[in-house]
Every structure is written in structure tokens, then in C-alpha cells.
Amino acid sequence: MWKTVLRRVLIMIPEVIVLSVLVFLLAKAMPGDPFTGSIGPHTSAAQIHQLKVQAGLYNPWYQQYWNWVVHLFHGNLGTSFQYQEPVTRIIGERAINTVWLALFTMVLTYAIAIPMGLYAGRHQNHIGDNIIRVYTFVTMAIPPFVILLIALWIFGYVLGWAPTTGSVSATASGTMGTVLSRLQHIILPGLVASLTGTVNIVQYLRSEVIDAKHSDYVRTARSKGVPTTNVFRHHILRNSLLPIAAFAGYSITGLLGGSVVTEMIFSYPGMGLLFLNSISYRDYTVITALVLLYGLLNLLGTLLSDIILTAVDPRVRVQ
Amino acid sequence: MADEENHFLKIEDVSTAFKIQGKYYPAVSDVSLDIHNDEIVAIVGESGCGKSTLATTIMGLHDPAETKIGGKIEFEGQDLLTLNEDQMNKIRGAKIGMIFQDPLSALNPLKRIGDQIQEGLDYHTKMTEAEKKARVLELVNQVGIPHPERVIRQFPHELSGGMRQRVVIAIAIACKPDLMIADEPTTALDVTIQAQILDLLKDIQKENHAGIILITHDLGVVAETADEVAVMYAGQVVEKGSAKQIFDNPLHPYTRSLLRSMPQKDSENDDLYVIEGSVPSLQKMPQDGCKFAPRIPWVPESEHEAHPTMHEVEPGHRVRCTCYKNFKFQDEA
Amino acid sequence: MSLIEVKDLEVHYPIRSGFWNRVTDEVLAVDGLSLNIEAGETYGLVGESGSGKSTTGKSIVGLEKPTRGQILYKGKDITKPRNRRELDYNQDVQMIFQDSLSSLNPRKRIEDIIAEPIRNFEHLDKNQEKLRVLQLLDIVGLDADALYKYPHQFSGGQRQRIGVARAVATNPKLIVADEPVSALDLSVQAQVLNFMKRIQRDFGISYLFISHDLGVVRHMCDNIAIMHRGRLVEIGTRDDIYNHPMHIYTKRLLSAIPETSVEGRAEARAHREAVEREFQENQSRYYDKDGKVLPLVDVTDTHKVALPADEIDKEDK
């Protein structure tokens, strides 16, 4: 198995290189250069030229790319025009917020979706299953931002149970206080995001369970005299959770990218909101850095899913 | 464990109907059969004749919400159809073992071979873990799988079709059941493997003194293995008797037609016999009268019974309906 | 001249393994196979799963690219795409598959399924085309109302007949039939086999009949080749193969066919076990040190067997 994983990681190397080249070329194609915004009206053309030569902007593209990569490894992604701060620091701050929200959403999503999907599949067409199906259809029919707005309005403004903006209260003090304040801020967006996120998993898991129930190997298990509960526990459960587990890799890295909609509605200072703001302010260095990060997260998600699949499915190991 | 008593299964007037769009349609109707131990009873017929449904009915594998089952299945003194799920679980795997057709899908792809064989032992015996391990190895050996130690740690996809079918058999015989139901056990296999598997089944049966219900569409397999034969058409048994009676003196028009449509030695220059029409679907099945009548339209109605019953022609040899008496193929006139 | 001449056909599949997933070995699916199919005959190709019989069939139709060897049609090697086009080979050689449901497009009506090859090769107007399709349906015993139905609305036997009609649509010279009746019930199998024979008589078509069922092959085929491990172990007429089998593998296959007589049961098993024992013990003599089938040797004009040298001497005496 470790061989497969190692090979899978090695395959990622060329992917990362291609990704970085693409992102670099994208950044080059954008208007402006690192001095845009920092140059005053009194700087002469000769001085600008001098600065550009020093920065190596007239070098061939591959040399520039190499410099960029070296900077990248030193954690230097340039300076944001908008904030006049290193991009790494800006993203770093936002990333902490997003990780909190992402992990919370993820845990909640699976904690809700797995029991629901298993129950619905096991008790197909019973009352509980019908209620779950109505829930999934309704949630799927309403766009997430509508649900988010309604939740914000009811719980945030009308009832005042949860804060409506920010990630941590400025008045929070001490470790405990900060953590509690953070939880308070993510509870509403996390809950709503996970409720909408469960829908796909519930439906998928439900149909996986139903398929497994009618499979030949379950019939074999029953003909061995295995009691229904144990057939479910030892045969149906694992087999139908397998694709869900594999999907978890994508979904965690997807969440780490930050959700634009959720973060915007709750004014939650995460990566999604940062990305949106950077685009509206044409903050190219931040955009470039985020695109690179999203690309990497995507590759990592596929890697993670493949590793999970290799770990749980013996059929994949051999191939 | 198999006692020396003469255990047997007595199927009496069993009917199994499936719910299709709110209405029940019988897939099996009024089937009566006796199975003794040390005996192989073949149930033979074409797809849709109800032979597999009969097997799953005996095993109690149908969803009670979707099926209606009537009649009596007496096994070792109790009627299986009156037992609840827990009581059936004590019989399934322990006293009745089942072998399925497609060995790849019949095995759980995510479980090791050894664990799948051991599962039955977990529920039906009080063996220690070590005893179970030993028994699993013994079983794998018994069904003729080389390298048992390695195989029990493997997964189903790592074995060939023939080996997988042996695993399925090992699962079925793990607790030495008194009755084995084999549903098309060799259909997915090559001829040489088929012969080996059939011989293996016969050997196991002799060792365990079990009874076997062999469900198949292959008349050759029946002729080579069965002691008793029941021919099914459209959910009913149309003819039953010893293998010798059925093959040497087939009487029911359906049995005769089937045998005649087989390619024979020296049949190269002739057309094969084709039964007119086709098997009706469950919903379109004639509810009364001789169900085979539409396939032999040249036989006058007066030859058929209004409510066909089984007639004993000679000891042990029974035929449904009276149409067999003067039956001739069209070209025999 | 034979209709089709297969010469030293080899089809290899790469096996990738190891850390870098490099090609480390090859499966010799077909490993040097030669056979001739005459016009108007049914040639049986028999073997167990994995013997390479389907790969051979696909190579002849052009669905599989041979690694080495030639397939001659009208004297030209049709493994080269240019020759295939020149000779209208794809029109002259058609295929029938085992799984009739998955080989027919589920979203197309029968009319379109059967007309498709006609549209590819002939230019008929709408009415002529429909007439031709109706004719073809009639040949395989289906009514005109089948035209507007979809594949799933037919039974397995009917679908297989639709497959036959589609194959016949281009007036082919050869139809490669890969296990055409293996999935069918006995009575339906009889019907499909009858239609195949009738079409052969009426149109002079040759069949390459690929099957594992020796009973069906005996009924259908004039000449038979037995395949094992990618090579032929025995070629002969029906009489040669069934009444005078010489290769140990052929004998083993034949002994495994269940007979429909109840009396001979014990003897049949004894015979089968004796042959199996002989196969296990003497196998090494009939295969070379790599387990490959030996080269074919002429026994009579029609009968070729992959025999070891000492067996040939024995036969001569």
C-alpha cells in the first residue's frame, strides 16, 4: 500500500510544476508589476526602468519563473496593493479563520449526513426516510445563499443568538475566551453550510445502502444466518460508506478554500471573502497567491481521496 | 451436525407471489416436493420458470412486504414458513446452506476469504477462535483450493472464477448443513471446472449425508448428477420422477420439447426443435388450465384438464395435466 | 483459395507493474495462431475462458490490433487499415456478440439499429431502406411492429436475432459469432441456431463460431479448432475432433461435457477422472518447458494436432 501512496505522491510532482507555471504565466499576463501603486508621480521613467532591471523584469520568462519559485519557497509571495502587507501574512490570518470554519462544517456535515443517509437507506420508504427525502429535496431546491440570509436574519438579527459579522470578538480575552468567541462566530455559518452540504451525501449514501441491501453478497450473508442488524453492520455499512470516505478528501480541501457565499453573507474574514475582495480591488498578487493555493488544495484533495480509497478498498491496492 | 436420522424437507403446495404495481402475481404456484438426505433433487427449467424463487422461498430470503407465500415447507419437524426471522437465522447457514450462481457478486468484495467462510461458524457454533481458524482451513482444503493459508487472507477479486465458486461452496458447507441448495452453481464456469465442481458437490454430500437441491437449466448437468428431477414450467412442476424416468421416458410435452431442442450427436443436418411462442411474463401468465397449452396449439383442448393436477404414471413418476397421454409432435403425426 | 487466412497471429497485452508502472511482461492472448476459413463453411473455435478465442475473433473483425502476423482476405493483409478500406472489408465481415443487450444501443429503435450498417455502406432512399430492414427482420422471424421498438422491449432470444439481422444487413461474406447463444435458454438457443443455419444456406455466409459449448459446436460446425493458452492444440473436421481426438487437452474438454444419459453416469465420471489424471501426469509432454502448446503436426489431410514427437511415431505404427 505504501508503494501505491508514494507513487501517487510522485505523480503529483509534475502536476504541481505545471500548475505553478500556469499560475506564473497568469500573473505575468495581468496588468501592472510589483511597483504599481508604490511609485509616486515624481519618479522618473529612468528610475522606474532602473527598478525594473534590478527586479529582473527584463529577464527571460524562465529566469523570472525561477526567481518566483525561489521566492515562493522562502514564503515570499509579494506584497498586497490593497493592504500594503506581505501576501503570506494576509493569507495566513485568513487561513486560520477558514480552517476553523472548514473543520467545524466538515465534522458537522458528516455527523449529520452519515446517520441520516444510513437510516434512510435502511428504512427505505418508511416515515423517517420520507421525512429525510422531503428535507433533502427542499434544501436542494432553495439556493444556499437564500437559506444563509434567512438564517442570518432570524438567528442573527431577530433573535440575536449569534454574531452577524467577524470571526472573533475584539473584546475576547484569554485562550478560553478566544476559543469560545470563535465558536460563537462559526456556529451559525457552519451549521447552515453543513445542512446544505449534507444533502448530496445523504442522497448518495441512501442509494448506496439500498444497492448494497439488494446485492448478492448481502443475500449470501443472510443465507449464512447472519442476523439483520449484523448484516447491516458487517456488510452494508462498510461497503456503502466506502465511496463517501473517498469523497471526504475532496470535500475537506474544498472547504479549506473557503466558501465565498457563506463568508460574504456572514462577513466572515476567511479566504473566500479575501478572494472576492482581491478581485474587486484588482489586488493581483493576492489573487495569484490564492489561485496557486486553490490549485494545490485541489491536487491535495485528489491525493487524499486516492489514499483513503487505497486504504479502505482492497481492490484498488492490487492495481 | 448431521445425525443419522433421515432428515428431510417436505414442500407442500408452496406458492410465492410478487407484488407488482399493487397486485400479486404468482412466480411459483402449488409446488410439492420431497427431498431426502443422501439425495440430489434437480429442479430444472428455463429462466422465469420460478426455480430460483422456490429456492429463495425455502431460505426465507424474500421481503415479506413484497411477497405473499402460501403452503407449507416442513423441515425437520417444523414449518419454515411459520418461523420468524430469528428462528430462520438459526436454520440458515446451520442446517440449510445455499450456493449461489455468480461467485464474484456473491462474495463481499471488501472482506477476506477466511472471514467470509468463518462468519457462519461465528453465529452457529461455540468454537473458540483457534478452532474456527482450523475449521476454515479444513474447509478450504476440502473444497480443493491450493495454498489454503494464503487464500484465506486474500480478497475475492484475487481468485479465479472456479476458485471463487469453491469458496462459495465452502461457505455453504461450513456448518455441515443437512440440506444444500445450489442455484446454478456451475453456470458461470468453464466445462472442465464445471465437472470438477459437480464432482466436489457429490463428494461433500456423501461425506455429510446431506440432501441437495440442484437448480439448473442444463439438462446435461441434471443427467450427470441428479437422483430425482422436477421439471418446472411457468411456476409449476410439470413432471417429476427419478433421473432415469425423466431422461428415458419423458412424458410431459414440455420435458419432451426441451430434450428435443438440445443439439444431439448427428443432428448437424437437421433444424433443432423450437417450441412455439415464448414463455409469458409474470403478469400475462394464464391463471388456470394447462399453462403449456399455448405452446402446443395443435393439441385439442379436450386433451387438457380444466384444472391440471399431477398424475402418477408409474411409482414415483408424476406428470401434470392429461395432455401428455396422446401427445405427438407436429412432424410425428 | 480460402475466404480468410490467418497466419501466425499474435496479440499481446502489456502487463504493467512495479513502482514505475512500466511494462514488465506481456500476456500472450494469442500466441501464433494460423487457420483458414473457407467460403460458406462454419468454422468452430473452441476454448475455455482466457484461451484467446475472443481475441482471435476480434482481431479478424478488426476490433483488436494484432501484435504480429497476417490476416489475408482476397490475398491482402487486412491488419493494415488501408487494405481494409480498399476491400470494403468492414462491410464483408460482421460480428455477433454474446451479450445482446449491451451490444445494441438502448436509445435507438430497432429500425435504426438494423439500418445503421446499411447507411454506412449503401446509399438507399428512405423507402428502399425500410423495405430492406423489413426483409431482414423477416429473415430472422420478427414482425414489422418490431421496427419502432427499443432493444429492452425484446427477450434475449429476440435481441440476439436482431443482432443477427444487423450483421446480415450488409450482405457479409463472414460473420464472427462470439458465444452467440451462451446466454440463452435451451429452446431459444435452438431458434437462434436454426436461423443462423438458414441464413447460411440462403446467403452462403461463412461463420467463425466461437464457443465453449462443445454440444452446440458439434451441431453447427464443419471444421473445428481447439484453442488453449493462445495457441491451437488441434484442428480437424467434426469427425476428427469428436470421434478421434488426439490431443490430451481436447480429450479433457470432451470428457467434461455432461451426457444426457443417466446410466453411463458412473462410467462417465470414472472416464473423466482418468482423463484428468492423465492430463495432470502427462501434461508436460504435450506442452514445452514454458507451458506453451507444441507446434501442430499433420496427422491426416484434415487433422492437425500439437503432438510431441514420440506420440507421432506411435500414431504412425
pLDDT in tens, A108-152: 999 999 999 999 999 988 899 999 999 999 988 888 888 888 888
Q: What is the pLDDT of residue C5?
A: 94
Closest-CA residue of B relative to C268 is: B224
- Does residue B2 carry a pLDDT above 50? no
Three-state secondary structure readout of chain B: CCCCCCCEEEEEEEEEEEEECCEEEEEEEEEEEEEECCCEEEEECCCCCCHHHHHHHHHCCCCCCCEEEEEEEEECCEEHHHCCHHHHHHHECCCEEEECCCCCCCCCCCCCHHHHHHHHHHHHCCCCHHHHHHHHHHHHHHCCCCCHHHHCCCCHHHCCHHHHHHHHHHHHHCCCCCEEEEECCCCCCCHHHHHHHHHHHHHHHHHHCCEEEEEECCHHHHHHHCCEEEEEECCEEEEEEEHHHHHHCCCCHHHHHHHHHCCCCCCCCCCCCCCCCCCCCHHHCCCCCCCCHHHCCCCCHHHCCCCCCEEEEECCEEEECCCCCCCCCHHHC
- Does residue C263 carry a pLDDT above 50? yes
Query: How many helices (H) and strands (E) in chain C?
Result: 12, 12
The span from the CA of C9 to the CA of C66, in Å, is 7
pLDDT digit string, tens, across residues B115-154: 999 999 999 999 999 999 999 999 998 888 889 999 999 9
pLDDT band at C317 (very low <50, low <70, confident <90, very high): very low
Residues above pLDDT 90, as percent of chain C: 40
Residue C185: its chain B contacts at CB < 8 A?
46-47, 217
What are the distances in angstroms from CA B290 to CA B236, B240, C11?
A: 10, 16, 54
pLDDT band at C19 (very low <50, low <70, confident <90, very high): low
What are the distances in angstroms from CA A214 to CA A121, A312, B190?
A: 11, 22, 27
Q: B68 pairs with which residues across the strands?
A: B17
pLDDT digit string, tens, across residues C174-215: 999 999 888 788 888 898 899 899 989 988 999 999 998 888
Min Cα distance A215 → chain B (Å) is: 7
| C251, amino acid identity | K
Residues above pLDDT 70, as percent of chain B: 98
Q: What is the pLDDT of residue B181?
A: 95
Of A223, A235, A318, the CB nearest to B108: A235
CB A235 within 8 A of CB A108: no
Of C186, C198, C273, the CB nearest to B258: C186
Min Cα distance B196 → chain A (Å) is: 22
Closest-CA residue of B relative to C257 is: B191
What are the distances in angstroms from CA C170 to CA A278, B182, B189?
A: 64, 45, 35
Phi, psi for C116 (deg, rounded to 5): -55, -50
C40-67+84-243 to CATH, choices 3.40.50.970, 3.40.50.2000, 3.40.50.300, 1.10.287.130: 3.40.50.300
Min Cα distance A234 → chain B (Å) is: 9
CB B135 within 8 A of CB B174: yes
CB contact under 8 A, A225 and B107: no
Residue C19: its chain A contacts at CB < 8 A?
3, 6-7
The pairing of strands B67-75 and B8-20 is: antiparallel
A215 touches chain B (CB under 8 A): yes
The span from the CA of B180 to the CA of B192, in Å, is 22
Q: A79 pairs with which residues across the strands?
A: A86
CB contact under 8 A, B61 and A226: no
Interface with A, mutate which of B89, B116, B139 (most A CBs under 10 A):
B89
Chain-centre distance for alpha carbon C204: 18
Domain boundaries of chain C, sorted by first residue? 40-67+84-243, 245-317
Interface with A, mutate which of C19, C20, C22 (most A CBs under 10 A):
C19
CB contact under 8 A, A315 and B93: no
Which residue ranges in chain A fall short of pLDDT 50?
A: 319
Average pLDDT, chain C: 88
CB B323 within 8 A of CB B311: no
Query: How many alpha carbons lie under 13 Å from residue C89 in its C-beta half-sphere?
Result: 25
Burial zone of A46 (CB within 10 Å; 0-12 exposed, 13-18 middle, 19+ buried): exposed
Angle at C223 between CA C221 and CA C225, to 5 degrees: 105
CB contact under 8 A, C260 and B220: yes
Q: What is the pLDDT of residue B36?
A: 87
pLDDT band at B3 (very low <50, low <70, confident <90, very high): very low
Predicted complex ipTM exceeds 0.90: no
* Helix-helix angle B191-208:B161-173, to 10 degrees: 10
Interface with B, mutate which of A208, A222, A224 (most B CBs under 10 A):
A224
Residue A6: its chain C contacts at CB < 8 A?
19
Look at residue A202 and tell me if it is in a domain: yes
Residue C263: its chain B contacts at CB < 8 A?
244
Q: Between A and B, how many CB-CB pairs are < 8 A?
A: 80
Q: Chain A window 1-20: which residues touch C at a Cβ cutoff of 8 Å?
A: 3, 6-7
Of B161, B199, B263, the CB nearest to C269: B199
C225 touches chain B (CB under 8 A): no
C-alpha cell at A117: 443517509
Q: Could you tell me the CATH number of the domain that includes residue A136?
A: 1.10.3720.10
Other beta carbons within 10 Å of B155: 19
Of B221, B268, B272, the CB nearest to C258: B221
Taking residues B238-257, report their average pLDDT.
95
C258 touches chain B (CB under 8 A): yes
Chain-centre distance for alpha carbon A135: 24
Per the document, the length of chain C is 317
Residue A208: its chain B contacts at CB < 8 A?
none
CB contact under 8 A, C187 and B46: yes
CB contact under 8 A, B110 and A239: yes
Residues above pLDDT 90, as percent of chain B: 63
CB contact under 8 A, A219 and B106: yes
Q: C177 pairs with which residues across the strands?
A: C96, C209
SS3 call for C60: helix
Q: What is the pLDDT of residue B4?
A: 43
CB C98 within 8 A of CB C178: yes
The span from the CA of C224 to the CA of C238, in Å, is 6
CB contact under 8 A, B93 and A225: yes
CB B137 within 8 A of CB B148: yes
The span from the CA of B265 to the CA of B18, in Å, is 41
Q: C43 pairs with which residues across the strands?
A: C208, C223
Residue B111: its chain A contacts at CB < 8 A?
235
Structural domains counted in chain A: 1
Choose the weakest-confidence range: A144-148, B135-139, B162-166, C72-76: A144-148
Closest-CA residue of B relative to A241 is: B110
The span from the CA of C277 to the CA of B328, in Å, is 45
The pairing of strands C231-237 and B78-79 is: unpaired
Of B59, B167, B119, give the one whose Cα is nearest residue A235: B119
The span from the CA of A244 to the CA of A116, in Å, is 13
Min Cα distance A299 → chain B (Å) is: 27
Full residue range of the structural domain in which residue A280 is found: 87-318
Look at residue A280 and tell me if it is in a domain: yes
SS3 call for C181: coil
Interface with A, mutate which of B110, B153, B169, B187 (most A CBs under 10 A):
B110
Min Cα distance A297 → chain C (Å) is: 25
The span from the CA of C23 to the CA of C43, in Å, is 35
Min Cα distance B17 → chain C (Å) is: 22
Other beta carbons within 10 Å of C295: 12
